[in-house]
Amino acid sequence: MGDKKIEIWHNARCSKSREAVNYLQEKAFEFETFEYLKEELTLEDLRGVLEKLNMQPAELLRTKEKVYQEQYADKKLSSEAIMKAMVKHPQLIERPIVVRNNKAVVARPLDKAIQFLAH
């Protein structure tokens, strides 16, 4: 694999996220885990991953989460406000995200990660 560094934005409580980590381990990929619920997440981190995903913040937002329903569902949020909400409440970020170099993919379902890593 050479210098193609892989990072996964991981939530250990999420079965899809665990599935992606297991796949990376089974296929012997070298990767780093970013546990964004436990580690510090900055706006710059989020902007960077959105750019690599080629997504808008609203596309990465988990609107069914309780915190979203209670605090944000009735508001019209700008992209900046969505990103600030995600940094404050990282559980609002769709997961898992697999990053390789300057590209990324939301690995739901796992097939998306498999295809992404095959190239």
pLDDT at site 3: 46
Span of 2-11, 30-39, 58-67, 79-88 with lowest mean pLDDT: 2-11
pLDDT at site 103: 97
Range of the domain at 69: 6-118
Q: How far apart are CA 115 and CA 42, in angstroms?
A: 28
Q: How far apart are CA 101 and CA 103, in angstroms?
A: 6
Asked whether residue 119 carries a pLDDT value surpassing 90, the answer given is no
Instruction: Give 86's contacts (C-beta < 8 A, 6+ positions apart).
Output: 41, 46, 57, 60, 61, 92, 93
Asked whether residue 26 carries a pLDDT value surpassing 80, the answer given is yes
Q: Cβ(16)–Cβ(109) under 8 Å? A: yes
CATH classification at residue 83: 3.40.30.10
Q: At 92, which amino acid appears?
A: L
pLDDT at site 16: 95
pLDDT at site 2: 42
pLDDT at site 1: 36
Across all residues in the chain, what is the average pLDDT? 95
Active site residue ranges: 14
What is the phi/psi pair of residue 74, to 5°?
Answer: -95, 10
Handedness of CA 7, 12, 14, 19 (dihedral sign): positive
Structure tokens of 43?
């706006």
Q: Maximum Cα–Cα distance for the chain, whole Å?
A: 47
pLDDT at site 77: 96
pLDDT at site 64: 96
Domain membership of residue 1 (yes or no) is no
What percentage of the chain exceeds 90 in pLDDT?
95
Domain tally, the chain: 1
